[in-house]
Structure 1
Amino acid sequence: MLASVLVLALAGCGTAPAASEGGRPPFTSASAAPGPAPVASPDPSPVRTTAVTASGDLPGWKHVFEEDFSAGDVPVGAFPGPLYQEKWSAGYKDGTPDTAAQIGATSSGYYPSKVLSVRDGALDWFLHSENGVFMGAAPTPKIPNSSSNPPRDNSLLYGRYSVRFRADSLAGFKTAWLLWPDSGVWPRDGEIDFPEGDLAKIIYGAAHYEKDGADAFEKFDSDQAFTSWHVATMEWAPDRVEFYLDGKSLGASRAAPPTVPMHFILQTESCLPVPNCPLPETQGHVSLDWISIWVPA
């Protein structure tokens, strides 16, 4: 792995809140930072597994949630449906502007009814455009052991989050699977993103915090492309935010770990950094094989 750290302070990069279930899509300023070229996968779609290989309690961590999407398939437009509704929300409703659209840069947004399904034991995003609108989705797991007040089913104060995922190489589409503060106060209360990156580039993690009244972040690059299956793990503790890819640490941010409850959003969208939009004909898939979550023991 290649690990690099970038620290910036950016003023005025926040956007207006979206009316959505999970909180507003943040402007992820780390997305504008360049990184090394990804290492190409010799096999763009290696065999996936259905079993959660990261499960059970760990030293310092109590296991509270897992999903491997083995309950059955769900067609596009019907997720979460009866099979998954106890543990999942489709997140932002159809037509919710994504980050780029909120700042008036493009026609793009979240459209779970056009994007999300479960097929072959994985949660699937069909990323594409219709009538000039680029479509993504941001589903959210319903995590127990809520730390928020009033309680919500997708909120923790500190945690360990692991996902096994892959994506087609889709220039202009990106993931920013993130922890967002329940307070919605950004950048004061922080933001944690992993895996993040343009789907045709490298995977990285970013830890945001407030510095001198503006957004600052530390960015940790890998040298890996999205086209292979990977396990991304972020550990959020009082003293650090650490990012692991396939069991190897990319580094830890200790500048200002968030200290308030946060909720997990699998935010997948387009056109960041502006105006890096996909070509109209670009379409393909992001797959989540499994997800596993822990709280401090």
Structure 2
Amino acid sequence: MGSHAAAGRRRPLVLGALGVTLLVALLSIPGAGGAPVSADACRDMGTSLPRGDCGPFWQVMAEDFNGDRMPLGAFSDCDHHADTSAAYCAGLKGEYRDNWWAYPTGWRDTANDRARAVAGVYHPEDTVSVGPAENGDGRMRIRMWRPADGGPVHAAAVVPRAVMQMKYGKYSARIKVTKQAPGYKSAWLHYGGGCEMDHPEGEWTGALSAFHHPCGGGGQGSFRGADDWTEWHTVSTEWTPGHVRFFVDGREIGHDTRDVPDRPLSWVMQNESALEGPGAAPGSSAQLEITWVAAYAYGWK
């Protein structure tokens, strides 16, 4: 189990890469003993939950989902102090109630603003659960689905409370899409005040990428991170004064310095209906699994 600590609702997405490629990092840097070393601040290439402070970051959340189980239905009644650091889901209990919030049932996802033929509505109560995999590994599961009658997609956006409305920081998770279907995507983001940082983002049947939309406008920074969501990937965003860096599996895939946010923003682990390509078919579903989440504040020394 992890530690504790509001999110913007639906954020605008600028579609398409506008050709801003700022800095794409090299592959993993060999360490003194020849073993690969991550290029991020923690220098950790392991697949297990990282623990402890690293570089200019101090850890405020370390969650491996190996504690209590949260069945479907637990992430319910979430419309309490929504979008503030006091937000909570009354259906949760114990540390999960302290540590997690979700967009309340009934909030509409981004596709609604794009006049997509298939859009979604957030339903954390029937999309989000926590429990062990067959090998005993604790995981959070995001299972989005579309009713057989062709209604809206049931989407999910979960928010770690420890880093709601936090300025700067490091945000990491290990993720895998365990069931693919067209029409489903992720856009994990920080946004507000005209600023936006997205990582990871993409349709689950396509590539995993990162994007930066400068606060002052202009072309987005677009950085391809991995070809396939169905492999395990460790994704990290490092946000410091004047800089945002994106990492996949220890490799820096992008770095932008243009109008980087300098205001508190929340980390929204947003999963929703697709904005490109075909919409989700009636009766379809797709699933993302998260085996750990780690988050860090900035400037501890």
- Amino acid in structure 1 at the alignment position of 2:246: F
Q: 1:100 matched to which residue of 2? A: 111
Q: Contact conserved, 2:203 with 2:274, CA < 8 A, in 1? A: no
Distance 1:82 1:278 in 2: 32
- Amino acid in structure 2 at the alignment position of 1:116: V
Q: 1:177 matched to which residue of 2? A: 188
- 1:260 matched to 2:281: no
CA RMSD in angstroms comes to: 2.1
Q: 2:204 matched to which residue of 1? A: 199
Distance 1:113 1:59 in 2: 38
Q: Contact conserved, 2:17 with 2:220, CA < 8 A, in 1? A: no
Q: Contact conserved, 1:176 with 1:194, CA < 8 A, in 2? A: yes
Distance 2:119 2:261 in 1: 32
Q: 1:287 matched to which residue of 2? A: 289
Deviation at 1:171, TM superposition (A): 2.0
- Amino acid in structure 1 at the alignment position of 2:106: G
Deviation at 1:113, TM superposition (A): 1.2
Deviation at 1:240, TM superposition (A): 1.1
- Amino acid in structure 2 at the alignment position of 1:163: A
Deviation at 1:23, TM superposition (A): 1.9
Per the normalisation by structure 1, the TM-score is: 0.76
Distance 1:270 1:216 in 2: 24
Distance 1:172 1:264 in 2: 23
Q: 2:250 aligns with which of 247, 251, 254?
A: 247
Q: Contact conserved, 2:170 with 2:239, CA < 8 A, in 1? A: yes
1:1-297 paired onto structure 2 within 5 Å: 22-30=7-15, 32-33=16-17, 52-79=48-75, 81-83=92-94, 84-89=96-101, 91-105=102-116, 106-120=118-132, 121-130=138-147, 131-132=149-150, 133-143=152-162, 154-167=164-177, 168-181=179-192, 185=193, 187=194, 190-211=195-216, 214=217, 216-273=219-276, 276-296=278-298, 297=300
Distance 1:70 1:253 in 2: 35
Distance 1:256 1:208 in 2: 9
Provide closer, same or farther for how the CA distance between residues 104 and 224 of structure 1 changes in structure 2, counting only shifts above 3 A: closer
Identical pairs, percent: 27
Runs of 4 or more, structure 1, over 6 Å off, are none
Q: Which runs of 5+ in 2 are unaligned?
A: 1-5, 20-46, 76-88, 133-137
Provide closer, same or farther for how the CA distance between residues 162 and 103 of structure 1 changes in structure 2, counting only shifts above 3 A: same
Per the normalisation by structure 2, the TM-score is: 0.75
Q: 2:34 matched to which residue of 1? A: none
Q: Which runs of 5+ in 1 are unaligned?
A: 1-20, 36-50, 145-153
Deviation at 1:92, TM superposition (A): 1.4
Distance 1:215 1:229 in 2: 33
